Every structure is written in C-alpha cells, then in structure tokens.
Amino acid sequence: MSTETAIVVDIIAGARPNFMKIAPIIKALEARRTQGSRLRYRLVHTGQHYDARMSGDFFAQLGIPAPDVNLESGSGTQAEQTAAIMVRYEKLLLESQSRLCLVVGDVTSTMACAIAAQKLGIPVAHVEAGIRSGDWTMPEEINRMVTDAITNWYFTTSETASENLRRLGVDDQRIFFVGNTMIDTLLANFERLRPPQFRNELGLTRGSYFVVTLHRPSNVDGVASFERLLKAIGEGTHGLPVVFPVHPRTAKTLENVPGLPPTIHLVEPQPYLEFNWLVKNAKAVITDSGGITEETTVMGVPCMTLRDTTERPETVTVGTNEILGTDPAALSAALGRLFAGQWKNGGIPEKWDGRTGERIAEALENILCR
Ligand code: UD1
C-alpha cells in the first residue's frame, strides 16, 4: 500500500488518564495496517503532563510508541492550558493536516484539540463520549460537554452514555457503543502487574491494606478539610497500612497538613503496572478519580468514591463502587460496613471485554476508508 493513499488520524494524548485509553487504539490500528489497511495515525502529545511519573513511565510500560509530535504546552490555569494547546495544535494542523482528530476522555487537551480541529473543518471523534456527572464545578465536565458539542463520531463506554447523547439530539448513526479502552489495557496487562519496591517494607499482603488517591480541588485544596478526611481514613482503616500515591496537586496541600495519621504512607505517583497491582490486591480503594472506579469494578475490589456525583454510574449500579460524598462521617460509616463484610459483590459492565480498541479501529475504517 503506498503512502499516497494513507489516511492519517491524529491521536491526541495529553494527561495521565489518556495514555491507557490510547494504547489499545494504537495497537488495533497497527494490527489493521499489517492487514493492508490505509489507516495511519500521528500521535500528538500535548505536553499537559510532562513528568516521567505522570507521562513517560506510562508510554514505556504500555509499549506506546514515542509521540510523533510533542506540543510541550505545560502547566498553567485552565484557560492558559487550553489556549496554549489550541494555538500549538492549530499550528501543527496548518502545517500538516490530518483527516480526523481522535480525542479521548475529558482532560483539557481533549477539549482544546477538538476545538482547534473542528474550526479547521477537520472532523472529531471522541472516545468515552457522552458521560456526564452534571457537576459544572469540575473542569472535566465542561471539557466533556464542549467536546461532545462539536464531535462528529462518538465512541461510548455504556448505553447510558449513548442515551445521554441521543437526548442531546445526536443522530444514532454517529454513536458507537464500543466499550472501554481503559479496560482493554487493564486486561492486556493483567498478568504483568507487579508490586512496587516498597511492598515488603510496608507489609502489603493481599487484602491487608488500602489504596487512596485524592486530587480533586473539592477534597485537597482546603488544608483543614483535607486534614479531617485523612484523620477519618486513618481511624476507619483500623491500623492497616494505607498507601497514598500523591498527585503533584495534592502534594502542594499536603506540605501544610500537620498531623498525618501514622498508618498513611505517602508515595510518589505510581507507574501503571505497580499502581494496578496495588489496587488489585487492596482490601479497598478510597478515591476521587473516575477512571479508577472502572478498574476496581473490573477487578472486583471495593471502591469508595469521595465525590457527590459520578459520570460513570455503571461502576455503582453494576460494579463495586459507592458514591459517598466528601463528608468524612460517610466514609467512616462505609469503612464500618466494609469491615463488617457487608460490601456488595459487583459484576462487569457490558462490552468491557478487552476488545474495544478493535471495535474503534473497525469503525474508523468504515467511516474513513469506505
Ligand atoms: C488532570 C486532569 C484530570 C486527571 C488528572 C490526572 C484536566 C482538567 N484534569 O488534572 O482529569 O484526573 O490530570 O492526573 O485536564 N504537574 C506536574 N507534573 C506533571 C503534570 C502536572 O507537576 O507532569 C502539576 C502542575 O504543574 C499543576 C498540577 O500538577 O500544578 C495539576 O496539573 P494539571 O494538568 O493542571 O491538572 P491535574 O490536576 O493533573
């Protein structure tokens, strides 16, 4: 197949939760290429996350090829980041157009690239489209809404997400319920999960410790409320070790939190294989992330979400997740139920089966190459 006939899709990745979502799509496109497909991709890293721990480690562990382009947009306020990514991606497109801009998830890079592409008349495909928390205080919700408003092709993780899009007036023919690429990555790497070096030092054995991740402003930006939450975690976990990989944003507040409970162990952000080993073997996970609630659901690990809403309701209705809000009292009660052996056993949502990347590649082929 000559390169003249190649059809190039931009795959956009900007921040940590994007990387595990693009890996299976890249793999599926490469598999199609060996079978004679004209589809090609250009991997564009926006540079929103730039530390090895937030970015490079994930590329290495998940076998994602080095980006073809790095826009090196870096940190800043929401508007600064959005603007920097838009300006740089627009420049790239003006120099060298692609046929489609494929964005994943809900980070600032997702929205910024979708806007830049669509304004140049380049169609947009959105993976993980249609999910909604209804909480406009989260930048991710704004990013989802704006992106979906200007998307041409919607790839969804659930029927609920597809239904949300239909209610917004999106034509059924543009919606593809394909499943969850993040789960493709988890299943593909399940046998490779490996313990972090500190496992023995902290005495982490199966079901005998907790994992905590917190980085939402509502939980970590106020020193006093964050301290109360950490105290509730320390008391409610009854002396078991609590492993807390600390996101850079959270680290800033933690510097000012005086009395950390002694069983809470702060560690660096973990690479993919180590983080998911920690989750798989934990007694439970306490988090304010969205993606982690999907991984705990598939691994059958109890998950306590310290938010008022979720954009991923199937992790609650089908999976092991519960939405507790941000009041420490609710967390204490939930930990009580866990220790009493009263946590629910979850199931696995439809099409979270490890084949989503292939479904997306097939749909792209039908959309672009026929
Ligand atoms: C972003 C995503 C969020 C995702 C999270 C996971 C948006 C709106 N939010 O939030 O959905 O759950 O990533 O990590 O896109 N920083 C570093 N090194 C890095 C990256 C960031 O030190 O490699 C620092 C920044 O300087 C900043 C803070 O971390 O102070 C926040 O980074 P930013 O990318 O703005 O947003 P996140 O909170 O990471």
Q: What is the pLDDT of residues 52-111, one digit of tens each?
A: 999 999 999 999 999 999 999 999 999 999 999 999 999 999 999 999 999 999 999 999
Residue 3 has pLDDT above 70, yes or no: no
Find, among 290, 329, 283, 282, the residue nearest to 307 by Cα. 290
Mean pLDDT of the chain, nearest integer: 96
Give, using CA atoms, the residue closest to atom 13 of ligand 1: 15
Q: Is the CB of 75 under 6 A from ligand 1?
A: yes
49/166 Cα distance (integer angstroms): 33
- Residues 25-45 have a mean pLDDT of 97
Compute the average pLDDT of residues 183-190.
Answer: 98
Q: How far apart are CA 149 and CA 114, in angstroms?
A: 10
Selected catalytic residue, list 126, 215, 238, 265 = 215
By most ligand atoms within 8 Å of CB, the mutation choice from 12, 20, 21, 48 for ligand 1 is 48
pLDDT higher than 70, residue 2: no
Residue ranges with strand state E in the chain: 7-13, 39-45, 69-70, 100-104, 124-127, 153-156, 175-177, 210-213, 242-245, 264-267, 284-287, 303-305, 321-323
Please say if the pLDDT value at position 370 is more than 90. Answer: no
Report the alpha-carbon distance of residue 275 to residue 20 in Å, rounded. Answer: 13
45 within ligand 1 shell (Cβ under 6 A): no
Q: What is the pTM for the complete model shown?
A: 0.96
